C-alpha cells in the first residue's frame, strides 16, 4: 500500500498515566506550532519563514476516548474519504505579520484526524478487542509536524502504533506528560521504560496541572503536588520542557464555540473556543517555551 509522504517530524505524546492532560497538551502543542511558536529557534528543516506558522497535523488514536476533536471544537464534523485515505479536518491558524495582515507565508495550519470522527454517536463506546483496534491505526497526515495523541498505557495501541510507524516513517521522538504527584510519576516511569525498549527518543517531559492560581486572590496552590516531573527528568537525564499551570478558563474555553472570522451569527461557521482563545490565554507563552525547547531537542545531536 503506497503512502503519502509522512510529516517531517513525527512526535508522539505519551504518558503512562491517564487523565494527566495528554490531549490538552497535544492540542496546545499543535496550536502553538501552527501559530509559529518555537519558530524563532533554528529550524532549517521547516519550509516556513522565521516568523511563520508550521503546517501541523494532529492525530488522535485514543480509540476509547478521543478527546482532541472536542478540544478543537470540531467534533461535529465528519471526516470524508479522499483518494489517498481519510482527509483530515482542517483548521487554519492565521498569523499576522507586522502590519496585522495574515499572509500565505505566515499562515500555519492545523489538520486533525481522529477516530472520534468515525463514531456516529458521541455516546458510543468503541468496544473493540486488540486486533480490530490495531487495524484502525492506519491514519497519516502530511506537514511539518505530526503530533500523535495516544491513550495511556503500554498495550495494544502503543505496540501497534510503534510497529506501524516503523514500517515507513521515522518517529522523531516522544513528549511525556505527567502531573506532579508520585502516583503519576510512577506510571510515567514505566512509559520511559517502554520508550527505551522500543527505541523512541524522549524529547522531554512536561509537568502539567502544576499549580493553580486562585482567580480571586492570586494565591497559588499546588493541588497535585509540585516538581515531580522536573525531578523525573533530572533522574533520567532528560530535558524538562516546562511547568504548565491549571488555567481556570480552560474548561469553559473548550466547551464554547465562537463565530469564525467573517461568519454571520447563526450560520454555523464556528471555531472552537480553545482555538480562538489560545493565543490570549495564560498558557500560550508557556507552550511557546515548551515548543522552543522541544524543537531544540529534536535538533540536538548525541542524544539517544
Partner 1 sequence: MRWFSNAAISRHENPLGLPTRLKTPSPQSNPNITKGLPLKRAIPNVKKVIAVYSAKGGVGKSTTSVNLATSLAAKGIRTGLLDADLFGPSIPLMMNLVGKEALLTPQNNLQPLVNYGVQTMSMGFLVDENQAVVWRGMMVMKAIQQLLWQVQWSNLDILVIDMPPGTGDTQISILQQVVLDGVVIVSTPQDVALADAKKGITLFSKMSVPILGLVENMSFFTCPNCNHDSHIFSPPGANRVDLLASKLGTNVIARVPLDPLVCEASDAGKLVSSLASPKIGAVYSDLAGVVCEKLGL
Which residues contribute to the site for partner 1 (CB under 8 A)? Answer: 16-20, 23, 64-65, 67, 70-71, 122-131, 133, 151-156, 158-159, 179, 181-183, 186-187, 189-191, 193-194, 197-198, 212, 214-217, 219, 221-225, 246, 248, 251-252, 254-255
Nearer to partner 1, 214 or 263 (CB): 214
Q: Which residues of 249-262 are buried (b: 16+ CB within 10 A; e: fewer)?
A: ebeebbeebbebee
Nearer to partner 1, 48 or 160 (CB): 160
Least gap, CB of 304 to partner 1 (angstroms): 16
- Are the C-beta atoms of 113 and 59 separated by less than 8 Å? yes
Alpha helices in 35-110 (DSSP H): 68-72
Least gap, CB of 199 to partner 1 (angstroms): 13
Handedness of CA 80, 85, 87, 88 (dihedral sign): positive
Q: Which residues of 156-188 are buried (b: 16+ CB within 10 A; e: fewer)?
A: bbbebbbebbeeeeebbbbbbbbbbbeebbebb
Nearer to partner 1, 76 or 255 (CB): 255
Least gap, CB of 288 to partner 1 (angstroms): 24
Nearer to partner 1, 145 or 224 (CB): 224
Nearer to partner 1, 67 or 291 (CB): 67
Contacts of 71 (CB under 8 A, 6+ apart): 23, 24, 27, 254, 272, 274
Least gap, CB of 25 to partner 1 (angstroms): 13
Least gap, CB of 139 to partner 1 (angstroms): 19
Angstrom CA distances, 43 to 6, 175, 292, 295, stand at 18, 18, 10, 8
Amino acid at each position: 500500500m503506497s503512502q503519502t509522504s509522512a510529516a517531517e517530524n513525527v512526535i508522539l505524546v505519551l504518558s503512562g498515566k491517564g487523565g494527566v492532560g495528554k490531549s490538552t497538551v497535544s492540542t496546545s502543542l499543535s496550536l502553538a506550532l501552527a501559530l509559529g511558536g518555537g519558530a524563532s529557534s533554528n529550524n532549517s528543516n521547516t519550509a516556513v519563514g522565521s516568523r511563520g506558522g508550521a503546517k501541523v497535523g494532529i492525530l488522535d488514536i485514543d480509540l476509547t476516548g478521543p478527546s482532541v476533536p472536542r478540544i478543537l471544537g470540531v467534533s461535529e464534523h465528519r471526516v470524508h474519504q479522499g483518494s489517498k485515505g481519510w482527509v483530515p479536518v482542517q483548521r487554519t491558524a492565521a498569523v499576522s505579520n507586522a502590519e496585522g495582515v495574515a499572509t500565505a507565508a505566515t499562515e500555519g495550519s492545523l489538520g486533525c484526524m481522529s477516530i472520534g470522527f468515525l463514531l456516529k454517536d458521541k455516546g458510543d463506546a468503541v468496544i473493540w478487542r486488540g486486533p480490530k483496534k490495531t487495524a484502525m491505526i492506519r491514519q497519516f497526515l502530511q506537514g511539518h509536524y505530526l503530533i500523535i495523541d495516544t491513550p495511556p498505557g503500554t498495550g495494544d495501541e502503543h505496540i501497534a502504533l510503534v510497529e506501524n510507524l516503523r514500517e515507513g516513517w521515522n518517529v522523531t521522538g516522544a513528549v511525556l506528560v505527567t502531573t506532579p504527584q508520585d502516583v503519576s510519576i510512577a506510571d510515567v516511569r514505566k512509559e520511559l521504560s517502554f520508550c527505551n525498549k522500543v527505541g523512541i527518543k524522549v524529547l522531554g517531559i512536561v509537568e502539567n496541572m502544576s499549580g493553580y492560581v486562585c482567580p480571586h486572590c492570586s494565591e497559588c496552590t499546588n493541588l497535585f503536588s509540585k516538581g515531580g516531573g522536573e525531578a523525573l527528568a533530572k533522574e533520567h537525564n532528560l530535558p524538562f520542557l516546562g511547568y504548565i499551570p491549571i488555567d481556570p478558563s480552560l474548561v469553559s474555553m473548550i466547551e464554547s464555540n465562537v463565530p469564525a472570522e467573517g461568519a454571520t451569527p447563526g450560520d454555523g461557521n464556528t471555531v472552537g473556543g480553545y482555538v480562538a482563545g489560545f493565543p490570549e490565554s495564560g498558557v500560550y507563552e508557556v507552550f511557546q517555551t515548551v515548543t522552543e525547547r522541544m524543537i531544540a531537542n529534536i535538533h540536538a545531536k548525541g542524544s539517544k
